[in-house]
Amino acid sequence: ASPSATQLLRQFTTGLLRRSCVPDYSRRTMTVGIEVIRADKGEAAKVSEKRRFRDGKIVDVVLDLDQQWVKAKFDLDQKRKEVNSVQSLITDRKKSSKGSDACEDLVAQKTKIEEEAESLTKACDELLDTRDKKLGSIGNFVHDTVPISQDEEKDNEVVATWGVPRSFEGKKFQENGFRPHFELLEMMGAVEFEPGNE
């Protein structure tokens, strides 16, 4: 026999209660993890944001949303424990009465608690999504050695050099061995321009 609509709804709702309020890391685009922000209460992130010439208040917003999410997750877990305890009471009563007691009062109580858990699940998921979106707007940490400037051309620092740079002052094309790349390739036989034109 095919399952009834009520059974399908119960399976779907049970599945939602199991899966919800758990971070889905596949949909995150954030660069900095919430664990890093939590570790020092966002101080390093605030410093990094200021180095990017941004206001560091977004870090406080993320921390506040994270605390709200943790509280909502705790409340949801407590509701789920209540559902489980009422379910065990129903099971015990049905065993003791050998199925003659319908446990209508406990079933109604369980249904009410499940509805509360569903609303808590939605609130928890919304908080998680909002927190993750805000967290995604915080940039990677700027290292201490990075020069802080709004003008890259003027304040760019040379960190390291290799070899001696060639000086091309006073040299013209085809003089002193200074030739363009396409001529060098043709001289080496790496390219044939004439057959390529035909």
| Packed helices 57-97 and 104-136: angle between N→C axes, nearest 10 degrees | 160
* Measured distance CA(84)–CA(91) in Å, rounded: 10
| Residue with more model confidence, 93 or 31 | 93
| Residue with more model confidence, 29 or 115 | 115
- Residue 148, Cβ neighbours under 10 Å: how many? 11
Q: 3-17 pLDDT, tens per residue?
A: 666 666 666 555 554
Owner of token pair 């209660």: 17
Q: What is the pLDDT of residue 119?
A: 94
* Measured distance CA(197)–CA(187) in Å, rounded: 17
User: In this model, does residue 40 exceed pLDDT 80?
Assistant: yes
DSSP state of 174: T
Q: Domain 5-136 - what CATH class?
A: mainly alpha
% of the chain at pLDDT higher than 90: 37
pLDDT class of 112 with cuts at 50, 70, 90: very high
Q: Is the dihedral of CA 52, 56, 62, 63 positive or negative?
A: positive
* Measured distance CA(6)–CA(9) in Å, rounded: 5
Average pLDDT over residues 144-155: 83
SS3 of 175, please?
strand
* Measured distance CA(25)–CA(186) in Å, rounded: 53
Which one of 5-9, 24-28, 51-55, 194-198 scores highest in mean pLDDT? 51-55
Owner of token pair 């509805």: 115
Q: What is the mean pLDDT of the chain?
A: 83
123, exposed or middle or buried, with CB in 10 Å at 0-12, 13-18, 19+?
middle
Q: What is the pLDDT of residue 122?
A: 95
| Residue with more model confidence, 154 or 68 | 68
User: In this model, does residue 81 exceed pLDDT 80?
Assistant: yes
Report in angstroms the alpha-carbon separations of 6 from 12, 108, 140: 10, 16, 48
pLDDT class of 93 with cuts at 50, 70, 90: confident
